[in-house]
């Protein structure tokens, strides 16, 4: 008779499995709702050739693959992690040579009448490879060599995907930074990265002179704390910053840079004999670096980015500058569709905006609009709640693993799902840029559904053997 522990090890986590099945079922229903046509040919062959029919086939394939993975030895995934990663890289390389262009991106391979998107499977392979690398006894994320190797593992597919080009799919790979943070990558890197990101956004949003003036005022205030007779200098700096800010609102920002820069240099000169002079010099260097990043961001936006790329950023950060009948149209229609559902929605198959195709790509990137229109706030909140339950449950599964590889893999998958969920729903509401990534298990697309199913199947397989290291 099997021991309780061995018996338990063969059980799939029912909560995670139930949420997974619920999301897959809801996804199929939403795809059916988007593509529903009362006048369509009811013949079975016609159904299979329709968008809903194809999604049905992919759903069946995904569930069969899920069952097959449960029959494979759980140690297979760690043993062949690098091989699977290599196959993913090979597929990405094949796309560059034999790829099929869809919606402007050469991101697909045509195989036997089906098109698959290798980047969806590369995410799975990268999660396995990173987990295998981090589980290696010689890996230490406090060490620079280990840090560079870990980053290189997910940057390699990013570069190949950018060549397609598919910036949305490439962005998802940065979700592995969540895993690396959990496994010990120093937090200073994240502080630096967030600071650079903020400067890039400010470079897009504001005139360069305004950004530099703001940085200079900030550092004058900071350095004033290290001046002799600190209180006088701090109060003077605050008054000066208030005056400069007031004048900047009158459009005089460019003319304020010279006096502000001179004051900053005078402060640095006065601090030469101060024990904090090295810190002050570092602050000044950071100012120069920050100004350079803002300048590079501003220059890239105005001189390097293509018009459609500029439009995407403007739609996100400066919608008042976008054409409501052009680049802003998708977001406006998306918001209108979601808000039109009210509290309980218009009812299944009764979405008027869905029927009239007001929202482009409604069955893929903007499928959340269908949820909002037909099922209202209650339906939208239910979908969000299911994803939150899934993400929280994955975190709990990861922490209870006895195997480091299993924990690291599950955190990698949780990060991928979080980025997809956060960005997709955010972009339908205008909170995130429109970069074209699917909502896991919900959006139409065979490659995405199969890829996410494989990820979840391996998660549940590893967890069911968590007592066997």
**pLDDT of residue 168 exceeding 70:** yes
Mean pLDDT of the chain: 84
Q: Would you place residue 294 in the very low, low, confident or very high pLDDT band (cuts 50, 70, 90)?
A: confident
pLDDT of residue 14: 94
**pLDDT of residue 10 exceeding 70:** no
C-alpha 114: how far from its chain's center? 27
User: Per residue in 11-48, pLDDT tens?
Assistant: 889 999 999 999 999 999 999 988 887 766 666 666 67
pLDDT of residue 61: 94
Highest mean pLDDT among 129-133, 289-293, 334-338: 129-133
346 CB neighbour count, 10 Å cutoff: 17
C-alpha 173: how far from its chain's center? 8
Q: Above pLDDT 90, what percent of the chain? A: 38
Mean pLDDT value across residues 279-301 = 77
Output phi, psi for 67, to 5 deg. Answer: -65, -40
**Residue length of the chain:** 469
Q: pTM of the full predicted structure? A: 0.86
The residue with greater pLDDT, 231 or 171, is 171
pLDDT of residue 115: 82
Q: Above pLDDT 70, what percent of the chain? A: 84
pLDDT of residue 1: 39
Least confident segment among 83-87, 352-356, 381-385: 352-356
Highest mean pLDDT among 298-307, 333-342, 442-451: 442-451
212 CB neighbour count, 10 Å cutoff: 23
User: Per residue in 58-72, pLDDT tens?
Assistant: 999 999 999 999 999
261, 216 Cβ separation under 8 angstroms? yes
pLDDT of residue 50: 78
**pLDDT of residue 411 exceeding 90:** yes
Mean pLDDT value across residues 339-348 = 87
Nearest to 217 by CA among 254, 246, 245: 245
Mean pLDDT value across residues 173-199 = 89
Handedness of CA 110, 113, 116, 118 (dihedral sign): negative
pLDDT of residue 327: 65
Highest mean pLDDT among 4-8, 285-289, 334-338: 334-338
Which H or E element spans position 469? none
DSSP 75: T
The residue with greater pLDDT, 151 or 224, is 151
User: Per residue in 387-397, pLDDT tens?
Assistant: 999 999 999 99
Place of tokens 């990265």: 193
User: Per residue in 100-127, pLDDT tens?
Assistant: 877 777 788 887 767 888 999 999 999 9
421, 439 Cβ separation under 8 angstroms? yes
Question: Which positions ≥6 away from 333 have C-beta within 8 Å?
Answer: 353, 358, 359, 360, 369
The residue with greater pLDDT, 418 or 361, is 418
Mean pLDDT value across residues 202-225 = 78
pLDDT of residue 326: 64
The whole-angstrom separation of Cα 450 and Cα 456 is 10
Q: Would you place residue 148 in the very low, low, confident or very high pLDDT band (cuts 50, 70, 90)?
A: very high
pLDDT of residue 47: 66
DSSP 466: T
Q: Would you place residue 188 in the very low, low, confident or very high pLDDT band (cuts 50, 70, 90)?
A: confident
pLDDT of residue 249: 62
**pLDDT of residue 445 exceeding 70:** yes
**pLDDT of residue 7 exceeding 50:** no
DSSP 165: T
The whole-angstrom separation of Cα 176 and Cα 154 is 8
User: Per residue in 177-187, pLDDT tens?
Assistant: 999 999 989 88
Output phi, psi for 101, to 5 deg. Answer: -90, 125
Question: Which positions ≥6 away from 183 have C-beta within 8 Å?
Answer: 134, 141, 408, 411
For residue 108, what are the β-bridge partners? Answer: 100
The whole-angstrom separation of Cα 438 and Cα 459 is 20
DSSP 321: G
For residue 102, what are the β-bridge partners? Answer: 105
pLDDT of residue 8: 44
The whole-angstrom separation of Cα 365 and Cα 313 is 17
Question: Which positions ≥6 away from 80 have C-beta within 8 Å?
Answer: none
C-alpha 179: how far from its chain's center? 13
The residue with greater pLDDT, 87 or 227, is 87
DSSP 343-398: TT-S-TT--HHHHTT-STTTTTTTHHHHHHHHHHHHHHHHHHHHHHHHHHHHHHHH
The whole-angstrom separation of Cα 319 and Cα 309 is 14
User: Per residue in 234-246, pLDDT tens?
Assistant: 777 677 777 676 6
The whole-angstrom separation of Cα 390 and Cα 19 is 6
For residue 115, what are the β-bridge partners? Answer: 110
Helix ranges (H only) for 105-186 are 118-135, 144-162, 167-172, 176-182
Q: Would you place residue 247 in the very low, low, confident or very high pLDDT band (cuts 50, 70, 90)?
A: low
Q: Would you place residue 5 in the very low, low, confident or very high pLDDT band (cuts 50, 70, 90)?
A: very low
């Amino acid at each position: 008779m099997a021991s309780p522990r061995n018996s338990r090890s063969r059980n799939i986590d029912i909560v995670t499995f139930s949420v997974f099945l619920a999301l897959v079922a809801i996804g199929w229903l939403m795809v059916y709702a988007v593509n529903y046509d009362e006048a369509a040919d009811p013949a079975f062959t016609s159904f299979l050739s329709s968008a809903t029919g194809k999604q049905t086939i992919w759903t069946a394939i995904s569930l069969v693959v899920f069952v097959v993975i449960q029959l494979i030895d759980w140690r297979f995934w760690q043993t062949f992690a690098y091989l699977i990663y290599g196959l993913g890289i090979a597929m990405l390389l094949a796309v560059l040579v034999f790829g099929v262009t869809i919606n402007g991106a050469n991101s697909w391979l045509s195989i036997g009448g089906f098109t698959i998107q290798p980047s969806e499977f590369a995410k799975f392979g990268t999660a396995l490879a990173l987990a295998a690398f981090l589980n290696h006894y010689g890996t230490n994320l406090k060490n620079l060599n280990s840090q560079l190797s870990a980053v290189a593992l997910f940057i390699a597919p990013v570069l190949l995907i950018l060549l397609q080009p598919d910036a949305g799919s490439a962005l998802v790979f940065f979700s592995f930074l969540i895993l690396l943070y959990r496994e010990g990558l120093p937090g200073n890197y994240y502080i630096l990265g967030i600071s650079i990101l903020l400067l890039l956004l400010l470079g897009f949003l504001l005139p360069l002179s305004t950004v530099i003036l703001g940085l200079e005022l900030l550092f004058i205030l900071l350095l004033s704390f290290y001046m002799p007779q600190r209180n006088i200098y701090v109060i003077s700096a605050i008054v000066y910053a208030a005056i400069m800010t007031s004048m900047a609102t009158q459009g005089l920002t460019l003319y304020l840079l010279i006096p502000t820069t001179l004051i900053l240099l005078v402060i640095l000169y006065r601090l030469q004999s101060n024990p904090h002079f090295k810190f002050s010099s570092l602050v000044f260097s950071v100012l120069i670096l920050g100004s350079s990043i803002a300048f590079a961001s501003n220059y890239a936006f105005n001189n390097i980015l293509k018009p459609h790329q500029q439009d995407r950023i403007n739609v996100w950060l400066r919608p008042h500058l976008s054409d409501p009948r052009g680049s802003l149209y998708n977001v406006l229609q998306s918001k209108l569709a979601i808000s039109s559902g009210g509290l309980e929605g218009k009812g299944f198959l009764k979405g008027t905006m869905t029927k009239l195709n007001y929202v482009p790509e409604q069955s893929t990137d903007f499928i959340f609009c269908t949820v909002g229109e037909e099922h209202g706030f209650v339906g939208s909140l239910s979908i969000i709640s299911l994803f939150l339950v899934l993400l929280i449950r994955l975190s709990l599964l990861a922490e209870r693993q006895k195997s480091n590889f299993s924990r690291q893999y599950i955190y990698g998958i949780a990060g991928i799902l979080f980025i997809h969920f956060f960005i997709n729903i955010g972009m339908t509401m205008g909170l995130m840029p429109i970069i074209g990534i699917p909502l896991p298990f919900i959006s139409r697309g065979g490659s995405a559904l199969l890829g996410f199913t494989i990820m979840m199947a391996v998660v549940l397989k590893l967890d069911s053997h968590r007592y066997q290291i």
